């Protein structure tokens, strides 16, 4: 994905989440205001009922006896004397009926002394005095009245809206996770580009002197003095062979680096498995006379695959079976079909793979930590390349240890 497209996606995602978060905060604020109005309505109705009962039906109110002085402060006109115990009973009854379940403080006005007398702190959990200092200013225009204050009104309203606040908190967490994920993706992309640039530069720097070594070695091998001396011929052939081997490793690294940034270029064509694999097996047996390869395939089995990359897959699998064998290499290639597809199996008699290492053998630069692996040159890119080709063909590959010795590698070609 190009960096420009990635930046557009990141920006749009960030704007969308910010927009959702702002909308959620506005909804939470609106829900709080609605809950506040609902609370005021319930308190007004409950206090109106209390005022009606305290008057005993003798006083008819021309206007609402309940005055909302402040957000949490109410004054109730009764136009009649009343006893504190009666008031407390009515307050309990009406607040329970209208489901006003929060702490409150009531206070009475003594018309004889012309002072506001502190009443009582009523808790929804227990009846106990509070250490809070509650302010009850005297009302100038009323004679017989009482006051109610809700010191924990804000806390009560917030607790009743905890679902909204939990949802808002969850959205904030999602936003933070999104930002962290984007930061990680960008950092990973930078590291990947640095790694690819390093591999490209490193391999190109290797190829220049290596080409010079190959040219010089081939010219040297053609000299008469070298042809006449068997030791010099041996040394020269070692230099040439090892140089070609190193060149193949460098080409493999370059191809992997290039294919990381762009997918493999595939040209699928019909391949008949039996003659195709027999040709590769013959080539390997010519190079390694001790290798025995048994091929048990149906002559009609065929697949659609890129010939070049499929050749590399077969070669890599067989080459690994040969290299990681401590005895005479013997490989059995077989196939079978079921309702899902075709299975191609490569069974060898090698040293096997530790069970804990099998899930990692297709990772880039991974090599099983054994004594044999240390003796064999390589970069851990062969099976990574195989996995990449298999995945792009929409095939599957698996590896398992045999019951006796060696491993079995299975390629699955779905119909």
**Are residues 278 and 231 located together in one domain of the fold?**
no
The yes-or-no verdict on residue 342 having pLDDT over 80 is yes
Place of tokens 């379940």: 101
pLDDT at res. 138: 63
- CATH number, domain of 399, equals 3.30.565.10
Its domain, for residue 243, covers 163-261
Query: What are the b/e assignments for 264-275, b being 16+ CB within 10 Å?
Result: beeeeeebebbe
pLDDT at res. 122: 79
**Are residues 150 and 167 located together in one domain of the fold?**
no
Q: How many CB atoms lie within 10 A of CB 195?
A: 13
Quick: pLDDT tens for 345-388. 999 988 888 888 888 888 877 777 666 555 565 656 778 888 88
What is the pLDDT confidence band of residue 256, given thresholds at 50, 70 and 90?
low
The yes-or-no verdict on residue 289 having pLDDT over 70 is yes
- Decide which of 160, 183, 201 is a domain's last residue: 160
Q: Alpha carbon of 260 to those of 91, 192, 193, 196, 213: distances in Å?
A: 76, 9, 10, 8, 30
pTM of the full structure: 0.46
pLDDT at res. 96: 86
As a whole number, mean pLDDT of residues 18-40 equals: 83
**Are residues 254 and 272 located together in one domain of the fold?**
no
Question: Are 132 and 81 in contact, with CB atoms under 8 Å apart?
Answer: no
**Are residues 318 and 401 located together in one domain of the fold?**
yes
Quick: pLDDT tens for 310-330. 888 888 888 888 888 888 889
As a whole number, mean pLDDT of residues 200-228 equals: 77
In angstroms, rounded to a whole number, what is the distance separating the alpha carbons of residues 229 and 291? 32
The yes-or-no verdict on residue 411 having pLDDT over 90 is yes
**Are residues 16 and 153 located together in one domain of the fold?**
yes
In angstroms, rounded to a whole number, what is the distance separating the alpha carbons of residues 316 and 285? 14
**Are residues 151 and 29 located together in one domain of the fold?**
yes
**Are residues 57 and 89 located together in one domain of the fold?**
yes
- Decide which of 129, 145, 160 is a domain's last residue: 160
Burial of 255 (0-12, 13-18, 19+ CB in 10 A): middle
**Are residues 74 and 186 located together in one domain of the fold?**
no
* Count of domains forming the chain: 3
In angstroms, rounded to a whole number, what is the distance separating the alpha carbons of residues 169 and 24? 10
**Are residues 330 and 237 located together in one domain of the fold?**
no
pLDDT at res. 285: 82
pLDDT at res. 261: 55
The yes-or-no verdict on residue 80 having pLDDT over 70 is yes
- Please provide the average confidence, as pLDDT, over all residues in the chain: 79
What is the pLDDT confidence band of residue 344, given thresholds at 50, 70 and 90?
very high
Structure tokens at 361: 């053998």
**Are residues 282 and 389 located together in one domain of the fold?**
yes
- Decide which of 160, 190, 221 is a domain's last residue: 160
As a whole number, mean pLDDT of residues 184-208 equals: 73
**Are residues 60 and 193 located together in one domain of the fold?**
no
As a whole number, mean pLDDT of residues 284-307 equals: 85
**Are residues 327 and 227 located together in one domain of the fold?**
no
Structure tokens at 182: 């984007």
The yes-or-no verdict on residue 343 having pLDDT over 90 is yes
């Amino acid at each position: 994905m190009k960096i420009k497209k990635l930046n557009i996606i990141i920006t749009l995602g960030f704007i969308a989440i910010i927009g959702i978060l702002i909308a959620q905060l506005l909804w939470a604020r609106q829900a709080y205001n609605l809950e506040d109005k609902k609370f005021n309505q319930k308190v007004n109705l409950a206090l109106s009922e209390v005022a009606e009962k305290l008057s005993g039906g003798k006083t008819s109110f021309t206007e609402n006896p309940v005055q909302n002085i402040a957000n949490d402060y109410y004054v109730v006109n009764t136009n009649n004397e009343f006893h504190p115990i009666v008031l407390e009973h009515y307050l309990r009854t009406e607040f329970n009926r209208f489901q006003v379940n929060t702490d409150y403080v009531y206070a009475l006005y003594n018309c004889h002394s012309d002072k506001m007398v502190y009443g009582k702190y009523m808790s929804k959990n227990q009846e106990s005095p509070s250490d809070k200092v509650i302010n009850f200013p005297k009302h100038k225009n009323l004679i017989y009245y009482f006051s109610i204050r809700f010191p924990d009104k804000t806390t009560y309203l917030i607790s009743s809206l905890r679902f909204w606040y939990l949802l808002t908190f969850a959205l904030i967490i999602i936003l933070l996770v999104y930002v962290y994920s984007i930061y990680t993706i960008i950092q990973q992309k930078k590291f990947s580009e640095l790694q690819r640039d390093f591999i490209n530069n490193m391999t190109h720097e290797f190829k220049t002197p290596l080409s010079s070594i190959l040219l010089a070695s081939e010219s040297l091998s053609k000299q008469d003095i070298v042809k006449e001396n068997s030791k010099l011929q041996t040394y020269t052939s070692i230099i040439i062979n090892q140089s070609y081997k190193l060149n193949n490793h460098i080409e493999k690294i370059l191809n992997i680096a290039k294919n990381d940034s762009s997918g493999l270029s595939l040209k699928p064509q019909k391949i008949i498995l039996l003659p195709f694999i027999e040709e590769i097996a013959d080539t390997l047996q010519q190079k390694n006379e001790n290798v025995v390869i048994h091929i048990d395939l149906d002559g009609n089995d065929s697949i659609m695959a890129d010939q070049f990359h499929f050749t590399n897959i077969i070669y890599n699998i067989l080459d690994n079976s040969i290299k990681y064998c401590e005895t005479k290499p013997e490989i059995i290639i077989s196939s079978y079909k079921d309702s899902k597809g075709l299975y191609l199996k490569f069974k060898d008699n090698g040293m096997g793979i530790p069970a804990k290492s099998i899930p990692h053998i297709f990772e880039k630069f991974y090599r099983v930590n054994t004594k044999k692996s240390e003796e064999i040159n390589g970069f851990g890119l062969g099976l990574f390349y195989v996995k990449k080709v298999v995945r792009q063909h929409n095939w599957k590959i698996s590896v398992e240890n045999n019951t006796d010795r060696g491993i079995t590698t299975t390629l699955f070609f779905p119909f």
